[in-house]
Chains A and B, each alone.
Chain A
């Protein structure tokens, strides 16, 4: 029987009922625990799992999922499974619904949370982070000094600096009627593994033309980011998947793709045009 319960006596699990209580626990040294799908694999990464933990599951505010005409406000403890179910069929939120419904596998989706996906800084293949970037979400952070809100792009770029002493409470996604979106991921098997590359995309589509496209790329580099050059290239052009793919193929040099055990860096970049084409085709289908 090989459980790795090292220093069991030193581990404690707290269940704060409020955000301030969770922040207090964190200030006292506790690590925040959401769905557990990242932390519980610490042993596999040779990382110690010791000390105190504060579970976020008992804080009602973190489990909110409010859809108003203006915005979707989603608590950090909402699971992928619940997100996928709640957002199904809302065209402007499609990237998040697809990301939440296709990541990992059903068992993981029932446990893994939105907050966990945003806070796992060592996890480059986070589907939700990429989708939220394309949806131009804001991230709500709570600190003992008070709440704050940062743009998703800013959050991802500066996570290491922002997260100490902070708790990700959730995200706010602006809902813009008429905006459509798509999320395309490329696992190496049909399903069940992490994608080697992700393209998440939103845009307005009018008279067959794209306007103000927002394109996020995940898993290619260590952190998901927007593809500004392609956004500029596609703004105002007609929605043409093949042409979009060609444009993407000419703009790959801005990526510094990561080498991984599962796929070489060149591959992650070289499949992006195909993913862009699929994303645009999905957009076309939903238009």
Chain B
């Protein structure tokens, strides 16, 4: 028997969830909060730092409608990634504005909110570290004075003072290269703000305590993470937590971590009632686990041949008051800031830094987006200072077949080089040069940037049941967050593998009671990891079917194929047996037909000894992108209009090309928001000032151009059928391409994001990069 050709899986399958989403029938978690549930509200700290002197919950309990209250004593455990530093409710000390102090469940939300006001809180304020500068200054006040006491979940990270985690890459003789007088040295520094995800469905959960276990119905990307963290903070067994996930109204990484779910769980346990918790928009914004603000310093030593002999960089990432995802992300600078280009030697020091501000988290391509911005701006600055053509420089220096990456991993294929050629062929620019003046007087700029990101592979499991009606059920912990992976990609794989129509594949809603472990939907991993597990599950089912068919048709299994709902003799179309009949036969003899599949990261090796504090050695599946932006810059107001935008994306195999193009259009739009409009700032107390749609401006229909997308197939991938994740990477190069185009248009050194009209006008008028 031969498995179906990868091309047999390719299809522009429509979304199965679109019809209900278009008629308002889809019920997201926020649509399931009526029907007898109590409503919860969270009391949050107002200041950035202080000692909790008094937290008297008793008055709240006597308020009308109140059924239960919860605070630190109800959540003994600490959680975190790399370091367990994060309590669910502030315990003894407040470390960030908006930190949860307590929560109330009442008959109505108004009653719950009224009861919060009755809680007596007294906090003795401490001085706070609100910025990276303050936090890393000698003698800085420690956000976590007891940092040594926290459990370290992964070894190897350097931790000290306000450095939650430090990761390093040291490969080759960096200092020697920088000291070599034949080298040209180019130094750059960049700064970026936070980006808020703004999923239209805020974080929300409904918890029920049933038979000694909690059932959480919640808007999450990672049900198994919610299961684990809820158990950790409550001090119960993970098996006491069940997580199910309705359709999710947008995640973008925000819901890749567990945050509010345990609060609902604790209140459900204490009240014995269903408890609904939904963040208000202002709360969602103020507590958003943003893409972090960061500072990047990068220097390169360029040899006389125009190659990068050495690179030295330091990245400070603001993790806010708790380490979270940023601890892991210190690893990723190696593959982004240290990526794209061949480097003779490299030193990268990346620090996740505690500040007394709201914690940050994962956001679509995470720090890859601003590291690509910094790297590509730096690359253009190298070219400007050395008088090199930026397109030629990239062609000459991008990693190709056999080249090694920052941590010594070996790249295969000339993927970036080929993609640059395809962009060259596709580009029909408005003006021939990279900068100029448009007929209407605006300044024109164009830039082409390269980027490298990865697929965050990791554990997934899948079970496929094949039924005697010819349908199949796919059981995983995958969640449909809008990307189409669960609505399109996975049913396409199962259908093609089993020779049945995609609409015969039922995709079970995520339920940790029904599925095996899964790392969650994010990092471009869904179709790859869940797809690989599904493929393996299907292989087991196929084997059973074909064995039975071989017997029935008196033909060796190797001569049979599954297609159109039948097992057929490949050489004689029409000669075969319907799958329902086959399944019925197997059921009668062996029992129902099912297969299980499992997948995890194979763990691409790196050069031994060149990394410290890294969570992964190398990237299992590199994903490359080439973007080109053409912009018009209004010299009077600093407004940037995107005239044209082109993407060449390394997709491996495009399983559903139309859906991939939809992800690219949407990902670029989100990147344009980060590049041009979306700015998070703090007030004097460290609290996020943009708490609504008036002040946090996501792009509208007039702000986003049509993106021309070219899907570059054939780049090597260990993913099933050769696929790569396609939903995460479209955002990767956008701020880089826009910033380089703005720099070209205005003849200015762009060192900060976002490029809002005030910041651009400040640059043009020499007021400096930040306001």
Contacts and interface: CB of A to CB of B under 8 A. Distances in A.
Nearest to B689: A261
Interface stretch (A2-10, A54-62, A64-72): A2-10
Interface stretch (A17-25, A133-141, A191-199): A191-199
Contact of A190 (B681, B700, B771): B700
Nearest to A192: B700
B559 to A, nearest CB: 60
Given A6-B114, A189-B700, A264-B758, A1 B276 contact: yes
A5 B110 contact: yes
Interface stretch (A79-87, A167-175, A201-209, A265-273): A265-273
Contacts of B690: 261
Interface residues of A, number: 29
* 7 A-B pairs closest in CB distance: A274-B636, A190-B702, A267-B758, A261-B695, A192-B700, A1-B33, A271-B637
B702 A271 contact: no
B771 A2 contact: no
A44 interface: yes
B699 interface: yes
Nearest to B676: A189
Contacts of A194: 694
Interface in A1-45: 1-8, 44
Contacts of A192: 700, 702
Nearest to A186: B637
A6 B64 CA distance: 13
A7 B113 CA distance: 11
Contact of A189 (B39, B282, B677): B677
B681 A261 contact: yes
A2 B277 CA distance: 9
B249 interface: no
Given A188-B757, A266-B767, 16 more contacts: A1-B278, A2-B278, A4-B109, A8-B110, A188-B697, A189-B703, A190-B700, A192-B700, A193-B694, A193-B697, A196-B757, A262-B695, A267-B638, A267-B757, A267-B758, A271-B761
Contacts of B636: 271, 273-274, 277
A222 B618 CA distance: 55
Interface in B659-701: 677, 681, 689-692, 694-695, 697, 699-700
Contact of A1 (B109, B113, B756, B758): B109
B280 interface: yes
A195 B756 CA distance: 14
Given A261-B690, A267-B758, A44 B282 contact: yes
B637 A189 contact: no
Interface string A93-113: 000000000000000000000
A99 to B, nearest CB: 18
Contacts of B681: 261
Best-buried of A5, A196, A267, A274 by chain B (most CB within 10 Å): A267
A220 B114 CA distance: 38
Nearest to A190: B702
Nearest to A260: B695
Contacts of B113: 4, 6
Given A188-B697, A261-B681, A274-B636, A6 B110 contact: yes
A4 B109 CA distance: 8
A189 B758 contact: no
Interface string B272-287: 0000101010100000
B235 interface: no
B206 to A, nearest CB: 11
B34 interface: yes
Given A2-B109, A44-B282, A267 B761 contact: yes
A267 B677 CA distance: 15
Contacts of A263: 756-758
Tell me the dominant secondary structure on chain B's binding face.
Answer: loop
Interface string B634-660: 101111010000000000000000000
A56 B756 CA distance: 40
B414 to A, nearest CB: 40
Contacts of A3: 109-110
Q: Which of A7, A194, A263 has the most CB of B within 10 A?
A: A263
Q: With a 10 A CB-CB cut-off, give which of B39, B109, B758 has the most chain A CB atoms.
A: B758
13 contacts: A1-B278, A186-B637, A189-B697, A189-B700, A193-B694, A196-B757, A261-B695, A263-B756, A264-B771, A266-B767, A267-B638, A270-B765, A274-B636
Interface residues of B, number: 39
Interface in A150-195: 186, 188-194
Interface in B752-767: 756-758, 761-762, 765, 767
B703 A2 contact: no
A266 B762 CA distance: 10
B34 A1 contact: yes
A266 B765 CA distance: 12
Given A2-B280, A274-B636, A188 B110 contact: no
Interface string A242-255: 00000000000000
Q: Among A3, A8, A186, A262, which residue has the most Cβ atoms of chain B within 10 A?
A: A262
Most chain B CB inside 10 Å of its own CB: which residue of A2, A7, A186, A191: A2
Contacts of A6: 110, 113-114
Contacts of B702: 189-192
Contact of B699 (A8, A44, A189, A264): A189
A93 B276 CA distance: 52
Contacts of B634: 274
Contacts of B638: 267
Contacts of A261: 681, 689-690, 695
Contacts of B771: 264
Interface string B614-636: 00000000000000000000101
Contacts of A196: 757
Contact of A191 (B109, B689, B700, B767): B700
A101 B679 CA distance: 28
B740 to A, nearest CB: 22
A270 B756 CA distance: 15
A271 B764 CA distance: 13
A263 B758 CA distance: 7
Nearest to B280: A2
Contacts of A188: 639, 677, 697, 756-757
A186 B639 CA distance: 10
Contacts of A271: 636-637, 761
B16 to A, nearest CB: 28
Contacts of A266: 767
Nearest to A193: B697
Nearest to B681: A261
Contacts of B677: 188-189
A103 to B, nearest CB: 13
A267 B770 CA distance: 12
Contacts of B765: 270
- Of the listed residues A6, A189, A190, A196, the one surrounded by the most CB atoms of chain B closer than 10 A to its CB is A189
A33 B338 CA distance: 59
A4 B697 CA distance: 24
Interface string B97-138: 000000000000110011000000000000000000000000
A191 B637 CA distance: 15
Contacts of A190: 641, 700, 702-703
Interface in B17-34: 30, 33-34
Contacts of B691: 44
The winner among A4, A261, A277 for most chain B CB atoms within 10 A is A261
A263 B636 CA distance: 15
A8 B702 CA distance: 39
A7 B114 CA distance: 10
Contacts of A274: 634, 636-637
Nearest to A274: B636
Contacts of B639: 188
Contacts of B114: 6
Contacts of A262: 695, 697
Contacts of A4: 109-110, 113
